Amino acid sequence: MAAIRFLVAGGILMGALRVAGTELPGKRHWRNAAIAGLLLFVGGNGLVVWAAQRLPSGLIALLVATTPIWMALIDWLRPGGNAPGARAVVGILVGLGGVVSLFVGKGINAGPEGLSLPGVGAVLVASIAWAAGSLFLRSAERPASGWMAVAAQMICGGGGLLAVALLRGEARHVEVASFSAGSIWAFFYLIVIGSWVGFGAYSWLLEHSTPARVSTYAYVNPIVAVSLGCLFAGESFTSRTAFSAGVTLAGVAIIMGGSRQSLAAGRGEPLE
């Protein structure tokens, strides 16, 4: 499903751009699109899709909220990267502590009373892959048209997801007769709003803003996901999850507050 979503979204977008006269990506652009597509869509979105069958959406959003933490760590560890200051280190430790607090004194299993350790691990790896892909796109050479770059990344990512799905034998389990109207509408919603609007806006921000500012979406995701999960999926939001969410988001706020102050100081602006 995820593979077809991105292949359709990327294919239609690229076709529309070609009709409008936009130049196709070059070989180097396709190479960079393949790297970004594998990190963002196969590693990032693909693992979240897999974990969503094992974890509540609110918990997944909380774990995905650690993405700014991984961005800070990867930006530090990469060649010529920026070492985090004391405030960023504190934020990283606080944020990771929030994730760890989910499991303290609680059994981890795949049942409804526990947490699926493979699911949690998949979401954390997905967050790392998404952070790495986002940082890669900051410096990667892309086509002159940002939308053409988005289309190429979705096509490459969708192709990677399709290869994984076929290797897992998922094609044998597709039953068209079992598609519901709700699932079909949700599928098209993901193409239009999730792929074209959402990822298009995210890619534009990566090009025109800083990783710290772009990752502010981490504040909003858990609130939206928990609310929708409770309203439409019958999910519960326990006191443990609420505590972990507060601690994790506090860590993210510490990191990003320090990033904004560093940016302002570098431009000679007053610190807020």
Per-residue pLDDT of the chain (272 residues; tens, 9 = 90+): 999 999 999 999 999 999 999 999 999 999 999 999 999 999 999 999 999 988 887 788 778 878 878 887 888 888 777 777 788 778 778 877 877 776 665 544 444 445 788 999 999 999 999 999 988 988 889 898 889 999 999 999 999 999 999 999 998 988 888 899 988 998 999 999 989 998 888 888 877 776 656 666 666 666 677 777 777 777 777 777 778 778 877 877 787 776 555 544 444 433 33
Phi-psi region of 134 (alpha: psi -120 to 50; beta: other; left: phi over 0): alpha
Is 53 strand, coil or helix? coil
Closest Cα partner for 3 from 181, 177, 156? 156
Q: How far separated are the first and last CA of the chain, in Å rounded? A: 45
pLDDT at 210: 66
Phi then psi for residue 214, to 5 deg, are -60, -40
- The structure tokens listed for 76 are 């530090």
Domain borders along the chain are: 2-264
Crossing angle between the packed helical segments 146-167 and 2-19, to the nearest 10 degrees: 150
DSSP state of 195: I
Strands (E) across 40-134 are located at none
- The structure tokens listed for 52 are 């969503």
Summarize pLDDT for 224-248 with one digit per residue, the tens.
777 777 777 777 777 777 787 788 7
270 half-sphere exposure, CB direction, 13 A CA radius: 1
The reply to whether the predicted model has a pTM over 0.85 is no
pLDDT at 77: 82
Closest Cα partner for 50 from 99, 121, 149, 111? 121
pLDDT at 101: 76
With beta carbons less than 8 A apart as the criterion, state whether 158 and 6 touch: yes
Angle at 188 between CA 184 and CA 192, to 5 degrees: 170
- The structure tokens listed for 206 are 């990566």
DSSP state of 86: H
Is 74 strand, coil or helix? helix
Residue 116 CB contacts under 8 Å (≥ 6 apart), including other chains = 51, 54, 55, 108, 109, 110
- The structure tokens listed for 130 are 């998404």
pLDDT at 46: 95
